[in-house]
Amino acid sequence: MERVGFVGLGAMGRPMASNLRRKGFELLVFDVDARASEALVALGAEAAPDVSAVARGADVVVTMLPDSPDVEQVVLGPGGILENGRPEQLVMDMSTIDPAVTDRLAAALAAKGMAFVDAPVGRLASHAERGESLFMVGAGGNDLGRVRPLLDAMGTTVHHCGAPGTGIRTKLVNNYIAIAVCQIDAEALALAQAMGLDIATTLDVVNGTTATNGHLKSAWPVKVLAGDTDPGFRIRLAHKDLALGLAAARRAGVPAFTGAEACECIGLARRTGDFEERDFSALLDVVCAQAGIGPPRLRSR
């Protein structure tokens, strides 16, 4: 079994790395916040002092980081994976970043004889905790086979989207829909609240028609509508991901009017109170605050 290095132990990275360790993978971990490694060390992982130590000590290096500059620095920057890596080593980036950065990583690593896979993650932190993540994978066939045991240990669903770079592009399409629809849901349920409708009955109606979606059917009843806006997927990151989708649309010459409006609304939510670090289902509470009404909550039945 290959030794796995894992860089980035945040809300998604920590549970995914934990599942790798529980499934028996030898694990070398690093996060800029040294405290983030403690839970992994308790499971038997080894904490590395920096990225260079991970690159030197692992056969496969996984990165799960917040944004494009973070990934570029860790992989291509001084003391990074490229500088300290070796031929036939594999790097798998699971972050949601600019596809142009993904392409640069793949080219730079290939030039040194290193393999690259992009495997951004679908579903939420709660799914990652349970080992139920979904992965959108861009990889050559041999490299997919090499990382498949890791993906199976961290999740339940693997979609091979094509060559390197197709995984992140698929993720941007997925998140474009999920985030823009989240804003629409927030406005619609705020309207229902303002008109004095019973929220449970409204959801029963909506979930029986083509208006239904994953937020209203499964996620929101246990998050914002239950009064829980602790972050699974932060509003700040939702704004970043939708902005990446819009940038991709501009490059492709695709009109993106609805996405642009949703991105503007979510940008405003980031600047409203402390919502930036709340779960993106809390967009409902933002819209209700903007309307001057109390946010709806479901009573337990």
Q: Is residue 112 located within the same domain as residue 197?
A: no
187 and 150 fall within a common domain: no
Domain annotation covers residue 279: yes
Both 159 and 173 in one domain: the answer is no
> Which candidate in 171, 217, 223, 240 is catalytic?
171
CATH number assigned to the domain comprising residue 214:
1.10.1040.10
Q: How many folded domains does the chain comprise? A: 2
Residue 171 a catalytic site member: yes
- As a whole number of Å, the end-to-end CA separation of the chain is 49
Structural domain of 274: 169-291
Looking at the structure, do residues 155 and 175 belong to the same domain, yes or no?
Answer: no
- Interhelix angle 99-111/68-76, rounded to 10 degrees, is 10
- Answer for the pair 62, 7: CB distance below 8 angstroms, yes or no: yes
Q: Are residues 141 and 248 in the same domain?
A: no
Residue 33 lies in a domain: yes
Alpha carbon distance 169, 164 (integer Å): 10
Nearest to 7 by CA among 68, 43, 53: 53
Question: pTM of the full predicted structure?
Answer: 0.94
pLDDT in tens, the chain (301 residues): 799 999 999 999 999 999 999 999 999 999 999 999 999 999 999 999 999 999 999 999 999 999 999 999 999 999 999 999 999 999 999 999 999 999 999 999 999 999 999 999 998 888 999 999 999 999 998 999 999 999 999 999 999 999 999 999 999 999 999 999 999 999 999 999 999 999 999 999 999 999 999 999 999 999 999 999 999 899 999 999 999 999 999 999 999 999 999 999 999 999 998 999 999 999 999 999 999 999 999 986 4
The answer as to whether 297 is a domain residue is no
Residues 179, 159 share a domain: no
Same domain, 189 and 265: yes
Spatial contact of 85 and 61, defined as CB atoms under 8 Å apart? yes
Give yes or no: residues 206 and 132 share one domain: no
CA 257 to chain centre: 24
